[in-house]
Amino acid sequence: MSQYTQQDRTIALIGIYQCSQLVYELATTGKADELAYKTSINSLFVENPKDTLGVYGDDVENIQLGVNTLLAQMSSDQAIQNRNIEITRYVLNLMILAKKLKELEAPLEHIFGILETAKLQTEQFGELHENVIATIARAYSENVSVVSPRIMVNGQHGHLQNPRTANKIRALLLAGVRSALLWYQVEGSRWGLIWSRKKYLQSAQALHRPKNDDSSRYFDTDN
């Protein structure tokens, strides 16, 4: 019997959706949910979690953006034409990239090395300092963006040309790869996602908490 549960797979999938939603928000508005952003970035530094939720700070509140995004994208009540095709594309490409990186191995080793540098920087500057994010972004640019399929992020030109926003997006894409690797680790699969869609939705619904509309949770990268 597998040691992993449907909830493990759902939490990891939620992590992918959360990163994809954050990438979309930053690229199109320059703003993003601060708690979700912090959680996703910090997931890159979690090495020995006690369980799957431990990767995301051991608190379901930290992944509510991902929960809401998954439910909106996968629910049968949501008309296909109204789903966000960009977010779906990010999710699928992150899954494909994670699988390829597992097979290549060397890029992952290089990423781990750069993340060690970023981890040391967090001790000096703080966990979300722009120097830390720039280092994480470099890990993505040098080791992931050179692997096919290269993720093309669409959005507002002004936001995409902002170096700080661009680095945040690359860092989030790396966090998305991390969640995709976790998803495979807990025995997630693309075929399983198709056949077990209702199970994923039920598990995500169980993790859903009342939405907090506090606008102070959003940060603007231009500030």
What's the rounded mean pLDDT across residues 157-181? 97
Binned at pLDDT 50, 70 and 90, residue 77 comes out as low
What's the rounded mean pLDDT across residues 177-182? 98
Binned at pLDDT 50, 70 and 90, residue 216 comes out as low
Binned at pLDDT 50, 70 and 90, residue 218 comes out as confident
Contact 175, 41 (CB under 8 A): yes
pLDDT at 13 over 80: yes
Q: Which CATH superfamily is domain 6-209 in?
A: HflD-like (1.10.3890.10)
| pLDDT (0 to 100) of residue 105 | 87
Radius of gyration of the chain (CA): 16
Rounded distance between C-alpha atoms, residue 120 and residue 223, angstroms: 25
Binned at pLDDT 50, 70 and 90, residue 223 comes out as very low
| pLDDT (0 to 100) of residue 160 | 96
| pLDDT (0 to 100) of residue 212 | 64
- Condensed to tens digits (0 to 9), the pLDDT of residues 103-145 reads 998 999 999 999 999 999 999 998 899 999 999 999 999 999 9
Residues above pLDDT 70, as percent of the chain: 92
pLDDT at 2 over 90: no
Question: Alpha helix (H) ranges present in the chain?
Answer: 6-29, 34-42, 64-74, 85-104, 106-125, 130-143, 157-160, 163-185, 190-195, 197-207
| pLDDT (0 to 100) of residue 127 | 87
| pLDDT (0 to 100) of residue 78 | 56
Residue that has been written with the tokens 């990186």 in this structure? 101
Binned at pLDDT 50, 70 and 90, residue 222 comes out as low
Global confidence as pTM: 0.94
Average predicted confidence (pLDDT) for the chain: 93
What's the rounded mean pLDDT across residues 28-43? 97
| pLDDT (0 to 100) of residue 81 | 59
Q: In 10 A of CB 27, how many CB atoms?
A: 22
Our measurement of the distance from residue 169's CA atom to the centroid of its chain's CA atoms, rounded to an integer in Å, reads: 10
pLDDT at 17 over 60: yes
Residue with the larger pLDDT of the pair 177 and 77: 177
Q: How much of the chain is helix, strand and coil, in % rounded to 5?
A: 70, 5, 25
Specify the amino acid at residue 85.
I
pLDDT at 214 over 70: no
